[in-house]
Amino acid sequence: MSVLCCPAISVPEHTIDMEQTLELARQLHPHHTNLSLILRLIKNTGVKKRHLVQSIEKTLHHPGFEERNLTYVHEAKKRLPAVIETALKNAQVTAEQINAIIFVSCTGFTMPSLTAWIINNLGFRNDTRQLPIAQLGCAAGGAAISHAHNFCQAYPEANVLIVACELCSLCYQPSDLNIGNLLSNGLFGDALGAAVVRGQGGRGMRLEHNGSRLVLGTEDWISYAVKNTGFHFQLDRRVPGTMEQLAPQLRAMASVHDWDVEQLDFYIIHAGGPRILSDLSHFLQVDLDLFEHSQATLTEYGNVASVVVLDALRRQFVAGLPDGSRGIIAGFGPGITAEIVLGTWQGNGLSQ
């Protein structure tokens, strides 16, 4: 049975806090007809601090999509080696022992994928399989874990490296005054994450079952409009209420395997916003305190897209759990899609 080892997380050095975010909104959009609503929505995110890959001055300046994407590539290549090295160390494997790399990101674009650069520059074998995932957004973290598990099921002695790189601030659009876009300016942050799934050995979360669920009729609720200026984030006002639809999907997926999703020991949930967590707590009848690691990620880093579930899981490793504890990883994203993984705790396996 494959094991998901302790993730490694890296956040950039530049930061912005809630008060700075609110003040910028006031300065940049003093005459916006919905300014009071926008300020209230940003306050309600509960995001105390976010990390940015550039200074706030550079972030607010839009040099064009081409230069933005060049910045994405440059910053990714600069920051990926350290987080990958730590993930390999946590799993007690080397680059040469990795059989596949799953790379997830929705905030920049390269072809070939950055998997090719990783293999060429960080000591991986040239027969390492590559699986880039670009269009699942925040759900991609959960999807990557599922695909890694499936690969190890097919090749039981394999090891899979998951890499997530989300530089959300590079999608800032100063001319887009849509309420959803302005809310995203106070919600999303930058982060990178990596983790290894081992087909044999390793300590961490033993992966047992996985599944994907799509909420029909919601494909335009979370989306990008791709324009000359790059990716414009679009968020339907109905998105925060989707947990009423997704909670039964989580319950149904778990019940197929005779698991009770309301009686688990740990929950690693994509924290898209505070209502996601509170509503899921309500509809699953689960104590909100069981989402504490997801909440901590949201509070300290903001919504870091596909990296959220990796960071929340890292926090669970630090907190520790008794062996045999049952839990769920659930990532939510465009579609609207839920990517779900069920597993059992099998030792912390933290590197010192």
Q: Which residues are catalytic?
A: 138
d(CA 334, CA 59): 25
Name the pairing type of β-strands 159-167 and 14-17. unpaired
Distance of alpha carbon 313 from the chain centroid: 11
Residue pair 326/267 in contact (Cβ under 8 Å)? The answer is no
Which residue in this structure is represented by tokens 């909104």? 25
Find, among 312, 313, 239, the residue nearest to 276 by Cα.
239
Angle, alpha carbons 235-240-241 (nearest 5°): 125
Q: Which residues contact 19 (CB under 8 A, 6 or more apart)?
A: none
75 closest CA partner among 103, 114, 17: 114
- Closest-CA residue to 173 (of 164, 162, 158, 185): 185
Of 104, 121, 126, nearest to 113 by C-alpha is: 104
Give, in order, the Cα–Cα distances in Å from 26 to each of 33, 168, 182, 281, 325. 12, 21, 11, 33, 47
Compute the Cα dihedral for 45, 51, 52, 53 and give only its sign. negative
Distances (CA, A) of 29 to 24, 53, 88: 8, 23, 45
Nearest-angstrom CA–CA distance, 298 and 304: 8
Question: With the C-alpha atoms ordered 282, 286, 287, 292, is the resulting torsion angle positive or negative?
Answer: negative
Helices and strands (H, E) in the chain, number of each type = 11, 14
